[in-house]
Amino acid sequence: MNAIGLQNPGIDLFCERDIPYLKNFDTKIIVNVCGHAPEEYLAVVERLADEPIDMMEINISCPNVNAGFLAFGQDAHNVEKLTAQIKKIAKQPIIMKLTPNVTDITEIARAAEAGGADAVSLINTLTGMKIDINRKTFAVANKTGGVSGPIVKPVAVRMVYQVAQAVNIPIIGMGGISCAEDAIEFLLAGASAVSVGTANFHNPAVTLEVIDGIEAYMKKNGFENVKDMVGIVK
């Protein structure tokens, strides 16, 4: 569980320093965008529009100061509206990153699709709380924190499956992936791609291990392409 915010050097330094550095490698650059008001999202997207990046992932789990700090991603109307606004100015494909802290994840996914999203990614962290029984107070100063890691995987797989049945755009599955078997679950549930987060903290080589494991699974089960695996569990 973490409550450290979304630490970053700011858009100007990122564009001046980090993008040129990343361009030295044979990789795709996907930039995660966050904000506390629509104007902040749009300003960052506009700033990135002409940069040599491949995609943007819009983190709509951020609190919306214009809506009483309700996260953007918890209101379908706001999701569709913000997605549409971003699509008007973005020159790269847009991924909307969905929060699991909602009653119906499919409603939010459909709203992102209706707004023109090119893909969705899910799940972001679940909201949790830890009480320090010895100090008799909250374990983190923010009172609540984002729960990630293996404990959230069953929830994430379920939500990816639900969204795969509800939308026609690609899904990037994430949440608790720590080995190839975890990643394969997401693919079979309907994700077209997967993302590994928390596991990197205790195993920096985990992504390479996941890739090798998926390849081995494909050979064993007669899959010629990852696409052949996506969403086959109905």
Instruction: Please tell me the predicted confidence (pLDDT) of residue 65.
Output: 55
Fold observed for domain 11-228: TIM Barrel (3.20.20)
Instruction: Please tell me the predicted confidence (pLDDT) of residue 67.
Output: 54
Where do the domains of the chain lie? 11-228
Instruction: Give me 99's structure tokens.
Output: 């929060």
User: Which of 15, 34, 62, 179 is flagged as catalytic?
Assistant: 62
Instruction: Please tell me the predicted confidence (pLDDT) of residue 72.
Output: 77
User: How far is it, in rounded angstroms, from Cα 125 to Cα 93?
Assistant: 23
Label residue 175 exposed, middle or buried (CB < 10 Å: 0-12, 13-18, 19+). buried
The answer to whether residue 62 is catalytic is yes
Contact 143, 87 (CB under 8 A): no
Instruction: Please tell me the predicted confidence (pLDDT) of residue 66.
Output: 59
Instruction: Please tell me the predicted confidence (pLDDT) of residue 94.
Output: 98
Instruction: Please tell me the predicted confidence (pLDDT) of residue 87.
Output: 97
- Terminal Cα-to-Cα distance of the chain (whole angstroms): 32
Q: How many angstroms separate the Cα of 20 from the Cα of each of 2, 29, 59, 94?
A: 30, 11, 23, 21
Strands 94-97 and 119-122: parallel
One digit per residue, the tens of pLDDT, for the chain of length 234 reads 988 877 888 999 999 999 999 999 999 999 999 888 889 999 999 999 999 999 999 999 866 555 555 677 899 999 999 999 999 999 999 999 999 999 999 999 999 999 999 999 999 999 999 999 999 999 998 899 899 999 999 999 999 999 999 999 999 999 999 999 999 999 999 999 999 999 999 999 999 999 999 999 999 999 999 999 999 999
Label residue 22 exposed, middle or buried (CB < 10 Å: 0-12, 13-18, 19+). middle
